[in-house]
Amino acid sequence: MTCCTTADTVPATGAITIALAGNPNSGKTTLFNALTGLRQKVANYPGVTVEKKTGRCRLPDGAWATIVDLPGTYSLISRSPDELVAMEVLRGLRKDVPAPDAVIVVVDASNLQRNLYLVSQLIELGRPLVVALNMMDIAERRGTPISPDRLSAALGVPVIPIVGHKKRGINELKHAIRKAAVAPLPDFSLPAAMKEEVALVGGALAIICDESVSLDRHLATAERLLVGDRGPDIESLVKRDPVSKLLEHASDRLARRGIDPMQADVEAHYRWIEQVASAASSADVPSASPHLIQLNYQRPPTLTERADRILIHKFWGLLVFAAVMSLLFVSIFWLAAPLMNGIQNSINWLANKVTTPLGDGALHDLLKDGIFAGVGTVIVFVPQIALLFFFLAILEDSGYLARAAFLMDRLLSRVGLHGKSFIPLLSSFACAIPGIMSARTIENRKDRLATIFVAPFMSCSARLPVYTLLIGTVFATFGPVKQAGVMLACYAGGILAAVSTACIFKLSLLKGGA
């Protein structure tokens, strides 16, 4: 393995490949749709269940650009399959995707500091970069407006303000693609002792790598190695002399000085992020407040922040969660009942109209008791299933599911599951297949396997008609509230079986770390 090289500029003419990167929920997919329209292809990356989305976009000079929509990721440290795929594409390590000529990173202006961590890693990557500053309208409403010009000056790359869902700034972004630039490597203000070790390892990389890579890029690679990054592009370097010995000795020396390389690196990155965010703020900043993060604590809390004080509270949050789930199931029965009765009456009326003229006989029985009764039994439960999906979509789009996942982390961790297991398990209430597929976002392999194993215990929508039929037959005298309670008990039984199985797996087959 040799050290990776990257182009410093985007080709001035001709077709190019552009990687679209960004945090989850930053508006990346909305921008991808705005750029490519209907010219999209959806597949899976070979060997993994990670969705691969590519599309074509015509640039202002008439050339076509291939846009690769990468999985949303908070960093380039390959802890989950999604992050691994994003990292491999950005570093040009996948044979099924050409190395990108440029990277568009979508940044949520309303959460600038959180998004800048990925930007800092992309800068270290050394590829031509354009920042698409999304959700500017939300940032202004929150009282934290961002100046694109100041942010561009702080980063050293073009910054284009956009509002993805309204397609504002899309043409300007297309013009900026050819102007994408390799940002200068920031000075992350590492401890002096760590800088010395980075220089030693970087010097060794400059000797053993045969490409014409700048010393700054070697130093960035050395920093990654020191903090424990073992991505596939640099993994084999650890096994080569003199790098392996230098890393071992450097780690020992830093440990003796009480320096944790990973902690020092993260702290240095966030100091830089605070400086960039402060420089990019277009709000009136008092001279006594050097960092934007200090302003965030002085402004009045937003509606979301006030709601979070209750929704993720260790006591009130659980009560709200129980109330939301109970309301969900009661609503499914209560709202669906008139629709179900209407469908059932319509099917009975149609069956009588069709079969009465036939008289008694085999054909009459086949149509009435076979086709109409059989198909009708399935169709009559469509309102309940539709309502379940509708309410789940509302909970997801409102952001409550993410907060429920955070809330459930305390409980799930006690039975051997990760907080992120909540979303796959909740998705399995609709269908176990997408629930199992969504488990790929869990970084730890054993947590991921435990989630996959227990997801089928969740009562999916295919079981809902069976539950409803049994409850309607056995508990016919119960009202909607009591019937909803029985339904909750059925779902609770599946959850209890899943939790028990996960606990057994984590104590036996999946015991230990990753």
Q: What is the phi/psi pair of residue 99, to 5°?
A: -60, 130
Interatomic CA distance for residues 478 and 484, integer angstroms: 9
Q: Is the pLDDT of residue 123 over 80?
A: yes
Whether the CB-CB separation of 243 and 201 falls below 8 Å is answered with yes
Tell me the pairing of strands 51-58 and 64-69: antiparallel
Whether the CB-CB separation of 86 and 70 falls below 8 Å is answered with yes
Q: Is the pLDDT of residue 394 over 90?
A: no
| pTM of this structure | 0.65
Q: What percent helix, strand, coil does the chain show, rounded to 5?
A: 60, 10, 30
Q: What confidence score (pLDDT) does residue 297 get?
A: 41
Query: CA angle 27-32-36, nearest 5°?
Result: 155
Q: DSSP secondary structure string, 22-45?
A: E-TTSSHHHHHHHHHTT-EEEEE-
Would you place residue 118 in the very low, low, confident or very high pLDDT band (cuts 50, 70, 90)? very high
Interatomic CA distance for residues 294 and 213, integer angstroms: 39
Could you read off the pLDDT of 129-168 as tens digits, one per residue?
999 999 888 887 777 788 999 999 999 899 999 887 788 8
Q: What confidence score (pLDDT) does residue 131 get?
A: 94
Please state, in angstroms and as integers, the Cα–Cα distance from residue 90 to each residue in 95, 98, 131, 174, 306, following that order.
12, 10, 15, 20, 38
Q: DSSP secondary structure string, 335-388?
A: HHHHHHHHHHHHHHHHHHHHHGGG-SSHHHHIIIIIIIHHHHHHHTTHHHHHHH
Widest pairwise Cα distance in the chain: 96
Could you read off the pLDDT of 400-434 as tens digits, one per residue?
877 877 787 777 777 777 777 877 887 677 667 76
Average pLDDT over residues 478-500: 83
Whether the CB-CB separation of 236 and 3 falls below 8 Å is answered with no
Average pLDDT value for the chain = 79
Looking at mean pLDDT, say which of 185-194, 323-332, 358-367, 492-501 comes out highest.
492-501
Q: Which residues pair with 370 in a beta bridge?
A: none
Looking at mean pLDDT, say which of 197-201, 286-290, 333-337, 471-475 comes out highest.
197-201
Could you read off the pLDDT of 161-190 as tens digits, one per residue?
988 778 888 899 999 988 887 878 777 778
Which pairs with CB-CB distance under 8 Å and at least 24 residues apart come from 142-147? Answer: 142/110, 142/299, 142/302, 143/283, 143/299, 144/110, 144/112, 144/281, 144/283, 144/292, 144/295, 144/296, 144/299, 145/281, 145/282, 145/283, 146/109, 146/112, 146/280, 146/281, 146/282, 147/280, 147/281, 147/282
The domains of the chain, with CATH numbers, are 16-177 (3.40.50.300), 192-258 (no CATH), 316-507 (no CATH)
Could you read off the pLDDT of 259-298 as tens digits, one per residue?
888 888 888 888 999 999 888 886 554 443 333 333 344 5
Interatomic CA distance for residues 186 and 269, integer angstroms: 9
